[in-house]
Amino acid sequence: MKKQESIFSYDIYDSASDLTKADAELLIAARAVTKNAYAPYSHFHVGAVARLINGALISGTNQENASFPAGICAERTLLSTAASLYPGLAIDTLAVSYHNENGPSTSPISPCGICRQSLQEFEQRTSHPIRLILSGQEGPVFVIAQASALLPLAFTADELS
Ligand code: THU
């Protein structure tokens, strides 16, 4: 028997003003785009904005449905948009923010399990890590160097070959 250890670390900034100009711009855009979410059921509006490696900015928001499982998270909306508009192009950095109608929006959220799976495969298919910037409408900011670090021991495309 041997033990395998997986170490996960990330950076915490006190606020958006401590970020580089480029990162702060992305996060501010993610905060703003929460207004485009369609979240009449959860009242939890999520916004995601990515900078692609060609410098283009694209956004995604959560889009809910009366048939709840038909809803889609902001992150996967964004990944589908990126792959559709810029096929094959990698994402450099992705900022995610939210506005919660029922409570404060002051601490970061991180992608759900399904989105972690989708982010992992997007990184793999474009051979490029996706940096994540996570924050509410204000307050601390988490920066994670690579989205797939959120999904250790992932089931990947390699397993199907
Ligand atoms: N949601 C996202 O869009 N991204 C996340 O990272 C977490 C959750 C959405 C799904 C649903 O529309 C609402 O937030 C509440 O779960």
The confidence band for 149, taking pLDDT boundaries of 50, 70 and 90, is very high
- How far apart, in whole angstroms, are the C-alpha atoms of residue 49 and residue 26? 6
- How far apart, in whole angstroms, are the C-alpha atoms of residue 35 and residue 85? 22
List pLDDT tens digits, range 13-61. 999 999 999 999 999 999 999 999 999 999 999 999 999 999 999 999 9
pLDDT reported for residue 35: 98
Ligand 1, closest atom to CA 110? 6
**Catalytic positions, written as ranges:** 75
Ligand 1, closest atom to CA 63? 12
Per domain, the residue ranges of the chain are 14-152
- The enclosing H or E element of 95 equals strand 91-100
8 Å CB contact between 99 and 45: yes
8 Å CB contact between 42 and 18: no
The confidence band for 72, taking pLDDT boundaries of 50, 70 and 90, is very high
List pLDDT tens digits, range 104-144. 999 999 999 999 999 999 999 999 999 999 999 999 999 99
> Would you tell me how many other CB atoms lie within 10 Å of the CB of residue 12?
10
**pTM for the predicted model, two decimal places:** 0.97
Interior/surface letters 99-112, b for 16+ CB within 10 angstroms, e for the rest: bbeeeebeebbebe
Top mutation candidate among 112, 132, 150, 151 for ligand 1, by most atoms within 8 Å of CB: 112
Query: What's the 116 CA to ligand 1 centre distance in angstroms?
Result: 12
8 Å CB contact between 105 and 69: no
Please give the CATH number for the structural domain made up of 14-152.
Answer: 3.40.140.10
Ligand 1, closest atom to CA 45? 14
Where does ligand 1 bind, in terms of residues with CB under 6 Å? 39, 42, 44, 46, 62, 64, 71, 73-75, 109, 111-112, 115
Top mutation candidate among 33, 41, 44 for ligand 1, by most atoms within 8 Å of CB: 44
Q: How far apart are the first and last CA of the chain?
A: 28
For residue 80, what are the contacts with CB-CB under 8 A and spacing of at least 6? 60
- The enclosing H or E element of 61 equals strand 57-61
